[in-house]
Amino acid sequence: MNLTRLVYYSQRNPSESMDAQDLIATCERNNMRLNLTGMLHYNGDHFLQVIEGGRVEVSALYHRIARDPRHSNIILLSCTDVRERMFPNWSMGMHQGMDDRARGIYLRYFSTDDINPETVNVESLLDVLQDLSVEMAPRLRVSNG
Ligand SMILES: Cc1cc2nc3c(=O)[nH]c(=O)nc-3n(C[C@H](O)[C@H](O)[C@H](O)COP(=O)(O)O)c2cc1C
């Protein structure tokens, strides 16, 4: 079956508590079961997430995430069929914060680490997410049954 890749950007809702460990545990639990993979960067103010997997599963997860009160102002940056996963080893990798290494990766592809979701080049964002994931040792693999 086809693979779909979806990328979105959103703003943290400061009036809702956000426990990153809790969130990543939920992602890992659900995404493994659904053969979904991807990467999430949470810089403290914004989320940038890529989700890849079956079309139906990606779509259902996106709609669930979009209703989550922990963030708002979600902007769908891209949703497209792809031939291959970019994050096959991550049920959902998460990079938190904007430390020097993360900033350095953003500056590899952009002139600033403060991206504008209305104009940003999604391919470059995917490069950023892939480089961030390479900085982290894979922790969970998708189960092939
Ligand atoms: C920024 C962000 C990213 C999320 N990513 C995922 C994800 O990849 N997978 C997932 O199952 N839930 C994700 N969630 C959580 C969902 O919105 C929802 O709370 C969760 O899927 C409910 O799962 P549960 O019914 O097992 O508790 C995310 C939430 C936020 C705010």
Q: Which of 4, 17, 64, 94 to mutate to test the pocket of ligand 1 (most atoms within 8 A of CB)?
A: 64
pLDDT for residue 137? 61
pLDDT for residue 3? 97
Is the beta carbon of 26 within 6 A of some atom in ligand 1? Answer: yes
CA of 142 to the centre of ligand 1 (A): 17
Q: Can you spell out the DSSP letters for 47-69?
A: EEEEEEEEHHHHHHHHHHHHT-T
Q: Which residues of the chain fall below pLDDT 70?
A: 137-145
Q: CA–CA separation, 81 vs 64, rounded Å?
A: 20
pLDDT for residue 44? 92
- What would the pLDDT profile of 2-28 be if each residue is shown by its tens digit? 899 999 999 999 999 999 999 999 999
Structurally, at CATH architecture level, domain 3-135 sits in: 2-Layer Sandwich (3.30)
pLDDT for residue 1? 76
pLDDT for residue 145? 36
Q: What DSSP state is assigned to residue 138?
A: -
pLDDT for residue 136? 80
